[in-house]
Every structure is written in C-alpha cells, then in structure tokens.
Amino acid sequence: MRKIPCDRPERSQKRKGNGQIKNAVSISERPASVDDRAVPGHWEGDLIGGSKNSYVATLVERHSRYVMLVKVANKDTESVITALIKSAQKLPRELYKSLTWDRGKELADHPRFTLATDVVVYFCDPQSPWQRGSNENTNRLLRLYLPRGTDISVHSQAKISIIARQLNERLRKTLQYQTPAEKFAQCVASTS
C-alpha cells in the first residue's frame, strides 16, 4: 500500500475552484417563460469536439428547435465567445434573448458576450446536461453527420451550415410534424 505524504494536498482540495465560472447566473434564475417554450428567442448551446482540436458550437432555439451550427477555431473562451457574438448578430434581437450553456470553461467570458449581444447567459447545474435537453438531442442527431473522432476542421462553415439546414428540415413530432425551419420562419415573420 502506497502512503501519501502528509504535506501533499488531497486531490479534491487541489482542484477546488477549478472549472468555476465567475458571475455565472444559475438556470434556476431563468424566467418561467423560458421553461414552457411558449416564447421564442431562448437558446441552448454546447461545444462539440472532434479530432485534432476541431470544434462546432451547437445552438438550438427552444420554441422551434431551430439549429445553428458555428464552426469554432479553438475551444478557448476568446474563440468561442467571438464566434457566438458573430452568430447572434445575424438574428433579429427579438429572437435571441437568452442562452443556456453547460459549465464549460469556453464560456468563461460570458459577460463579453452579453455586453456585445444583450443576450443573458444562464448556466446549468454541474453534471446536469438534461437541463439543456433540446441541445443534447440535437447533438445526438449531429453525431449522425459528424461521428465522434471526426476531424471537423476539414469542413468549411458552409458545409457545417448545410448540416444545420438538413437538421432544420427534419419533420418533428413535437412540432406537430412541422420542421424547425418552418416553425422558426413563423417566429421571424411575427417579429417583422
């Protein structure tokens, strides 16, 4: 049996505080109107990794299940936040009100995202991916196109957008057999 020296910190103490995001707003503080999916403009997001340090941010609008896929150069917070800001600026302001993310460090600079977009960021509880259920389901579907271990860097943003379009054109029982694209188009029309 191996002895651990007394002056050596325990692993749990050594790692205490790692992975915590400063000023994170808990999902428990998210308005009830987001939970019932009645109001469009509330998104769930995640970062999907491939081989050779390649990444795609997945964004799913909760009301319509509309998907946006954003190719990201790296998983550092600078790269991810910059990519998310660019994608947010492509949407009408009424259709991007909040974003719910997991506890990944890639969103450590969430205040910069909120400042640039006026989109509030909520964070799931630790080890609770089910709190972003629409996003988790979309990630599962995305893996049909980009299986684990795929080098995502060989795909252009145009190719990634084609995959998003294919996901958005799938009929969904939960949408009374409409597609996310049709449902999202209705949301866009209602904001005009």
Q: For 178-190, what is the mean pLDDT?
A: 93
pLDDT at 11 > cutoff 60: no
181 vs 44, 56, 66, CA distance in Å? 17, 20, 6
- pLDDT tens-digit readout, 37-85: 989 999 999 999 999 999 999 999 999 999 999 999 999 999 999 999 9
Report pLDDT for 116: 96
Strands 42-50 and 98-101: what pairing? Answer: parallel
155: burial class by Cβ within 10 Å (0-12, 13-18, 19+)? buried
Tell me the percentage of the chain whose pLDDT exceeds 90: 74
For the whole model, what pTM was predicted? 0.87
pLDDT at 9 > cutoff 50: no
Banded pLDDT at 10 (limits 50, 70, 90): very low
Report pLDDT for 18: 46
Banded pLDDT at 144 (limits 50, 70, 90): very high
Least confident of 54-63, 114-123, 130-139, 157-166: 130-139
* Cα distance between residue 69 and residue 96, in whole Å: 15
Report pLDDT for 155: 95
To which CATH superfamily is domain 22-191 assigned? Ribonuclease H-like superfamily/Ribonuclease H (3.30.420.10)
Report pLDDT for 19: 54
Nearest to 118 by CA among 99, 133, 145: 99
- The mean of the pLDDT values for the chain is 89
Report pLDDT for 166: 97
Q: For 149-159, what is the mean pLDDT?
A: 94
pLDDT at 183 > cutoff 90: yes
Report pLDDT for 3: 52
* Cα distance between residue 2 and residue 148, in whole Å: 37
Domain ranges within the chain, ordered by starting residue: 22-191
